[in-house]
Copies of this chain bind each other. A is one copy, B any other.
Amino acid sequence: MRFCSSCGQPVAKMIPKGDERERFVCLGCATIHYVNPKIVVGALCVHEDRILLCRRAIEPRVGFWTLPAGFMELGETAEEGAVREAMEEANAKIAIDGLLAIYSIKRIDQVQIFYHARLLDPAVSPGVESQAVMLVGFDAIPWDELAFPSVEWALRRAIELRQQARAG
Contact with B along A76-112 (1 / 0, CB 8 A): 1111100000000000000000010010101001010
- What separation, in Å, do the CA atoms of A4 and B10 have in the docked complex? 11
A78 touches B104 (CB 8 A): yes
A77 touches B99 (CB 8 A): no
Q: How large is the interface on A (under 10, 10 to 19, 20 to 34, 35 or more residues)?
A: 35 or more
Tell me if A138 counts as interface (CB < 8 A to partner B): no
Contact with B along A7-43 (1 / 0, CB 8 A): 1111100000010010000000000011111110000
- What separation, in Å, do the CA atoms of A74 and B37 have in the docked complex? 6
- What separation, in Å, do the CA atoms of A11 and B3 have in the docked complex? 12
Q: Say yes or no: A5-B33 contact (C-beta < 8 A), given A99-B102, A102-B113.
A: yes
- Chain A residues in the interface with B (C-beta under 8 A): 1-11, 18, 21, 33-39, 71-80, 99, 102, 104, 106, 109, 111, 113, 128
Contacts of A80 in B (CB 8 A): 104
When C-beta atoms are compared, the residue in chain B nearest to A40 turns out to be: B36
Known: A36-B74, A111-B113. 9 other contacts (CB 8 A): A1-B6, A3-B4, A5-B5, A5-B33, A37-B72, A37-B74, A99-B102, A102-B102, A102-B113
